[in-house]
Amino acid sequence: MVSKSSLQDIEKLLVSVLKHLQQTESQSKLKLFTECDKKMPSSAANFMGPDFRTQTRKKVYAVRSAFDIRNIKIPVDRNHGDPSKKSSSRSLKQAQERGKQFHKALVKQINGQRTRKSVEGQLLTKLEEEFNCKFLQAEVRIRGYAVKRSKVDCYKGKIDAVALRQSPRGDPEVVVVEWKTFAKDDLQNPMKWWNGATYFKKPLYQCLLYRELLQTHLEVSDLRARIGIMLVPYNQAHQGKVVPGLCTDFQNMEKEGLRERLARYLEDGVLKETTVVKDIVDISATVKDM
């Protein structure tokens, strides 16, 4: 178990790493790879995730059982109105727009001043209370490179949020957070989101990829901590009910082979900090210089 002062030291180091990741690419000592297959993190599910159409129940159960899922209720913001009472086409468009605004509001609440009375502020406070965590930074820019034989894949994206928590054992845990706003009227029961791979597969594997990338950056900075993931589905059409899930133990998913393709794809990991990349970069630098 770490002391309160030690946890604060870890928080300071983590914040420092996250700020470093926010630096623009022009400040990086590495030039872009000349032979690099650029990929969006959101596409990770396509080639790193299994086919959920076979043994569906078993695989879905493995995912659900890996997450500590909580039911959270927050007051509905009356300013948003109730889209379910409007025409479906107009409702869908408005709900999607609200989803974008919701993401922006969460960024302001995390990176700026927390407004306790707002829907977003109350949601963040509830999440921190439920999972004993603290949100440190939103929209964390991150990039990394994965090597498979002679192929190099480049990833560049933004982690929705990063939090720090103290586990029940007293150990520090970094949490990669993924908001998933959607506008489906058929998901009036938000728990249904966790029962369908169609809903959770894409954000799950995007989050798992971000976890791998962040793990490497933290190791380079000598910050040793377990990294978990948190998925927060939020239905814009049925506000007030949120069922976030936190996963810090991936054994159930590993037993069912749900991380097998991910592990095999990243078997060499994101390029090691000691790897000389002179063959694919115009200068002799190491990944530690990123």
Domain extent for 109: 7-22+31-76+92-288
Whether 171 is covered by a domain: the verdict is yes
pLDDT higher than threshold 80 for residue 2: no
Looking at residue 90, its pLDDT comes to 52
pTM greater than 0.75 (yes/no): yes
Residue 148: phi, psi to the nearest 5?
Answer: -135, 105
- Nearest-10 Cα torsion for 121, 156, 200, 103: 20
Q: Which residue has the tokens 């159960």?
A: 61
3-state secondary structure 204-272: HHHHHHHHHHHHHHHHHCCCCCEEEEEEEEEECCCCCEECCEEECCCHHHHHCCCCHHHHHHCCCCECC
How confident is residue 61, by pLDDT bands cut at 50, 70 and 90? very high
Whether 132 is covered by a domain: the verdict is yes
* Rounded-to-integer distance, Cα 255 and Cα 65, Å: 12
pLDDT in tens, 6-58: 889 999 999 999 988 877 443 443 344 445 667 788 888 887 888 898 999 99
- Name the domain count of the chain: 1
| C-alpha closest to that of 167 among 249, 245, 223 | 249
| Full DSSP string of 166-189 | E-TTS-EEEEEEEEEEE--TT--S
Contact 150, 274 (CB under 8 A): no
Vertex 260 angle, CA 160 and 229, to 5°: 25
pLDDT in tens, 84-129: 344 444 555 676 777 888 899 999 999 998 987 888 999 999 999 9
Whether 282 is covered by a domain: the verdict is yes
* Rounded-to-integer distance, Cα 246 and Cα 230, Å: 4
Q: Which residue has the tokens 């709900």?
A: 95
Mean of the pLDDT values across residues 191-218? 91
Contact 26, 223 (CB under 8 A): no
Looking at residue 269, its pLDDT comes to 46
Contact 172, 164 (CB under 8 A): yes
Whether 226 is covered by a domain: the verdict is yes
Looking at residue 39, its pLDDT comes to 78
Whether 83 is covered by a domain: the verdict is no
- Number of neighbouring beta carbons within 10 Å of residue 27: 7
Domain with 212 in it: what CATH number? 3.90.320
Whether 262 is covered by a domain: the verdict is yes
Among 4-8, 127-131, 153-157, 258-262, top mean pLDDT goes to 127-131
Mean pLDDT (the chain, rounded): 79
